[in-house]
Structure 1
């Protein structure tokens, strides 16, 4: 038996509904009825990276980072394939650049989506402390 099972159905057109456990997500290649697949991937990547960033902080002795926000940007090539992803990570806690870099490095090692992406598509991460 597999570890993850999903089901995706499209009755017509380019809109589909994916079920993952008890959760349902509408994805639309046209971006009309829901986010398009590239947008979902970028959001999923950020949603995985953020808790990995928190764990990285805990592992570096920073148990309370406060509010953390990731603003993600992505570029598409001429075929609408993802070409580049960038994260601006904003952290409420006042940390120096060296500590932020250590936490980013650790988060990259923890985030499962980061590990699953080909190396040239992994996010270019910039972290900002004392952001809120």
Structure 2
């Protein structure tokens, strides 16, 4: 668990090492895997790193790479992935287009809560 925790923490700082924001999406698959583990501290650190790298994504890359990750986590069979999706929703929702916002609300079961977000 300690190795996974260190990995989850460090991957969030690797943007420059993968070639900058243009290639930051390469960090998503390992962080997504770590966001599904049962150990809470590892999962939380992976979500923290995912939240950090989300800010490095351009809006089109966010919609093309990050939002599908959130949807996969939200649709997961175990509570671990769904919990992680909840922690990621707020970082991508404000930066995506209206149709993608609608998809996210539907995926997260928030379709009827449209008024909360003002969109």
TM-score where L is the length of structure 2: 0.27
Which structure's residues are more often helix, by fraction?
Answer: 2
Which structure's residues are more often strand, by fraction?
Answer: 1
Larger Rg computed on CA atoms: 1
Structure number with the bigger relative contact order (C-alpha 8 A, sep ≥ 6) is: 2
TM-score where L is the length of structure 1: 0.25
